């Protein structure tokens, strides 16, 4: 019926000598004869178009274009009406945070690394942890318990397109919450920008302040748990180092007791001194013997006694040298090497024990103190106006998209018609 009325109106317009009265005439028919009577008369008038093949083809093609234009115009108007008048307006509260490592060195120490993009890796990791924590199900459940977000997301507070269905799953609700939570990390400054959108501006600020409070307690809890695990590892290593040091000490003590020597170094020094003294005495006795043999006979008592003394001193020197560097297992140089080996092992184990003890005491302090702190650069603000949707931008974008789609469809229609012809 509508198609026939429109084509009759266009047909009348082609006749310049007649007045365009299709709609006015049929409105009068509707009042006088009703819908069925009007339809019968329209059908009779439409026969003149139906019997004219050329006119009918022209009007059908024109009506096809009109229908496409009407569909796109209806799409544009309905979409614009939704965006401008119906779509829920969201207020966005914003805050800026920065995670500081209290144990890190001064900025000047890390200047070279920061220029290479290495120095801020720990800060980036902490910021990513904060982002993952805020977007987690645990945090959402805490927020939901206090602010009833799940109920809000399914309520009429949001428009019929934006709101969640009543049977939405927990995963869908979490995804919807994350769409309203915006987190951006600035790698240059190390600042973490967080924003939360809600239909009520006061509620947006309250929820964002609650999220910041949750993060502030969680970030130090994570570091304390990490420090406790490190402490357990260091305590284990400390006990191992202590036992190893005590074992080395006991081995050195047993070695000293077995060889009846407190310090082989001192014993070797003493033996060397004795040998040197005996060699000096031997040299003196030999000189004395050579001097006396020049005026005494060899069988005299003095020369024989001096000869025996020289032989005794030589035997003593040989004995001392064998004790110091001989071939027996108890020779002093072998004992000295074994002693030095055990002594070096004890010194090494003692140094390891000292370092483990220092690390243990340092880590105990780290567990008690807050290694990292969350600094709030700007408090969550109370927005004056809505942030989403951006109505002028959305309207212009919708207009361009509609025109673009209409142009594509029209071009495809023209190509199809050309191929048919």
Pick 82 or 54 by higher pLDDT.
82
Crossing angle of helices 137-147 and 170-180, rounded to 10°: 80
Looking at residue 396, what is its pLDDT?
Answer: 93
Which range of 211-215, 234-238, 319-323 scores highest in mean pLDDT? It is: 211-215
Pick 228 or 274 by higher pLDDT.
228
Which range of 118-132, 207-221, 279-293 scores highest in mean pLDDT? It is: 207-221
Looking at residue 119, what is its pLDDT?
Answer: 44
Looking at residue 116, what is its pLDDT?
Answer: 41
Looking at residue 118, what is its pLDDT?
Answer: 43
Looking at residue 117, what is its pLDDT?
Answer: 44
Looking at residue 346, what is its pLDDT?
Answer: 81
Looking at residue 184, what is its pLDDT?
Answer: 93
Looking at residue 275, what is its pLDDT?
Answer: 67
Looking at residue 113, what is its pLDDT?
Answer: 40
Please state the rounded mean pLDDT for residues 182-204: 92
Q: Name the residue ranges covered by the structural domains of the chain.
A: 2-86+391-420, 91-221
Looking at residue 107, what is its pLDDT?
Answer: 43
Tens of pLDDT, residues 140-188: 999 999 999 999 999 999 998 999 999 999 999 999 999 999 999 988 8
Pairwise CA distance, residues 260 & 37, whole Å = 136
Pairwise CA distance, residues 1 & 352, whole Å = 99
Q: Average pLDDT of the chain? A: 77
Pairwise CA distance, residues 42 & 22, whole Å = 9
State how far the alpha carbon of 81 is from the alpha carbons of 85, 156, 395, 401, in Å. 6, 18, 10, 16
Share of the chain above pLDDT 70, in %: 66
Q: Is the pLDDT of residue 202 over 90?
A: yes
Please state the rounded mean pLDDT for residues 313-329: 63
Structure confidence at residue 353 as a pLDDT band (50, 70, 90)? confident
Share of the chain above pLDDT 90, in %: 26
Pick 357 or 7 by higher pLDDT.
357
Pairwise CA distance, residues 75 & 175, whole Å = 29
Looking at residue 374, what is its pLDDT?
Answer: 79
Pairwise CA distance, residues 362 & 98, whole Å = 26
Cβ contacts of residue 356 below 8 Å, gap of 6+?
A: 234, 237, 238, 241, 242
Looking at residue 280, what is its pLDDT?
Answer: 79
* Residue 235 DSSP code: H
Structure confidence at residue 4 as a pLDDT band (50, 70, 90)? low
Q: Is the pLDDT of residue 14 over 60?
A: no
Looking at residue 221, what is its pLDDT?
Answer: 74
Looking at residue 342, what is its pLDDT?
Answer: 76
Q: Is the pLDDT of residue 279 over 90?
A: no
Tens of pLDDT, residues 365-413: 766 555 567 788 899 999 988 898 889 999 999 999 999 998 888 888 7
Question: What b/e readout covers 332-370, taking b as 16+ CB neighbours within 10 angstroms?
Answer: bebbbeebeebbebbeebeebbeebeebbeebeebeeee
Q: Is the pLDDT of residue 111 over 50?
A: no
Structure confidence at residue 109 as a pLDDT band (50, 70, 90)? very low
Q: Is the pLDDT of residue 203 over 90?
A: yes
């Amino acid at each position: 019926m509508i198609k026939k009325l429109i084509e009759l109106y266009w047909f009348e317009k082609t006749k310049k000598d007649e007045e365009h009265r299709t709609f006015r005439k049929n409105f009068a028919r509707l009042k006088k004869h009703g819908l069925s009577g009007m339809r019968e008369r329209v059908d009779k008038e439409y026969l003149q178009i139906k019997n004219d093949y050329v006119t009918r083809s022209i009007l059908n093609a024109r009506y096809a274009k009109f229908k496409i234009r009407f569909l796109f115009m209806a799409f544009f108007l309905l979409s614009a009406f939704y965006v401008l008048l119906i779509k829920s307006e969201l207020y966005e509260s914003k805050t800026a945070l920065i995670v500081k490592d209290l144990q890190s060195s001064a900025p000047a120490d890390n200047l070279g690394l920061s220029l290479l993009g290495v120095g801020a890796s720990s800060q980036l990791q902490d910021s990513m942890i904060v982002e993952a924590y805020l977007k987690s199900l645990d945090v959402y459940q805490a927020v939901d318990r206090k602010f009833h977000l799940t109920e809000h997301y399914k309520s009429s507070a949001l428009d019929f397109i934006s709101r969640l269905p009543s049977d939405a799953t927990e995963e869908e609700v979490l995804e919807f919450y994350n769409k309203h939570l915006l987190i951006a990390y600035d790698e240059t400054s190390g600042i973490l920008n967080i924003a939360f959108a809600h239909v009520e501006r006061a509620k947006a600020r309250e929820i964002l302040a609650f999220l910041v409070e949750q993060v502030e307690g969680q970030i130090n809890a994570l570091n304390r748990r990490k420090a406790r695990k490190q402490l357990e590892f260091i305590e284990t290593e400390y006990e191992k180092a202590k036992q190893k040091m005590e074992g080395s000490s006991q081995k050195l003590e047993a070695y000293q007791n077995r060889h009846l020597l407190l310090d082989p170094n001192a014993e070797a020094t003493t033996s060397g001194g004795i040998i040197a003294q005996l060699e000096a005495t031997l040299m003196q006795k030999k000189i004395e013997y050579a001097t006396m043999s020049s005026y005494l006979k060899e069988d005299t008592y003095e020369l024989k006694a001096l000869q025996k003394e020289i032989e005794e001193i030589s035997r003593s020197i040989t004995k001392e040298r064998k004790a110091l560097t001989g071939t027996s297992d108890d020779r002093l140089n072998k004992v000295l090497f074994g002693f030095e080996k055990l002594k070096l092992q004890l010194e090494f184990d003692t140094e390891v024990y000292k370092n483990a003890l220092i690390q243990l005491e340092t880590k105990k302090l780290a567990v008690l103190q807050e290694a990292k702190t969350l600094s709030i650069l700007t408090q969550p603000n109370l927005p004056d106006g809505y942030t989403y949707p951006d109505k002028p931008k959305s309207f212009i974008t919708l207009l361009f998209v509609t025109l673009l789609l209409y142009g594509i469809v029209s071009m495809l229609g023209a190509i199809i018609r050309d191929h048919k012809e």
